[in-house]
Amino acid sequence: MSRPVFLLLATAAVIVGCASKHENVVHVIAEQAPGLKKSARVQYRGIEVGLVKQVYFTPGGVRIDLLIEREDVPIRTQDTVHITSVGAFGEQVVDIRPGVQTAPLIPRGATLPKVQPESTVALPVGVWRSIVRTLGFTPDSALVDSVRKRADGAAAGKR
């Protein structure tokens, strides 16, 4: 058999082998998914198990398709999903957190419950200043001095 024919047959075998394997895609519905992008990481108990395959707009919010690449991930119907920021640059990841361990495993193509909102909220600097003033901290307080010293130290390190 000639070399080009062998390569063609080998390539066809690989394509057929990959096509026969079904992807494990799980759907998630969220009201919003700020900063979440295609190919973002999906974690289960803090371990990377897949990636975001696609993010779609729907009348009720956002549908997120998760490609679960590991076969040993026991995602259950009672598990919850959180979109969280990680790392120095605030990369968005989908974090699946275990729920009731007696709940049934979800089948391929199933939809997990709605995304749980995170409890952390980003506020503008002006709002934080207003809160600090309301709590009675003054510009000469130890807290403000500590923050200023850290900011001055960081600025000196960049020079």
Q: What's the confidence (pLDDT) of residue 23?
A: 86
Which pLDDT score, from 0 to 100, does residue 56 have?
Answer: 92
Buried b (16+ CB within 10 A) or exposed e, 46-75: eeebbbbbebeeeeeebbbbbbbeeeebeb
pLDDT value for 130: 73
pLDDT at 143: 56
d(CA 71, CA 8): 30
Q: 38 and 55 in contact (C-beta within 8 Å)?
A: yes
SS3 call for 105: strand
**Residue 98: its pLDDT value, please?**
92
pTM of this structure: 0.61
Whether 115 contacts 28, CB under 8 Å? yes
Q: Show pLDDT as tens, one digit a residue, over the chain (159 residues).
A: 554 444 444 444 444 444 445 789 999 988 888 889 999 999 999 899 999 999 999 888 899 999 999 999 999 999 999 998 888 888 899 999 999 999 999 988 898 877 866 655 555 566 667 776 777 766 555 555 665 666 565 555 555
Q: What is the DSSP letter of 141?
A: S
DSSP SS3 for 86: strand
CB atoms within 10 A of CB 23: 12
Q: How far apart are CA 31 and CA 27, in angstroms?
A: 14
User: Which residues, at least 6 apart from 80, have a Cβ–Cβ distance to it below 8 Å?
Assistant: 96, 97, 99, 112, 113, 115, 116
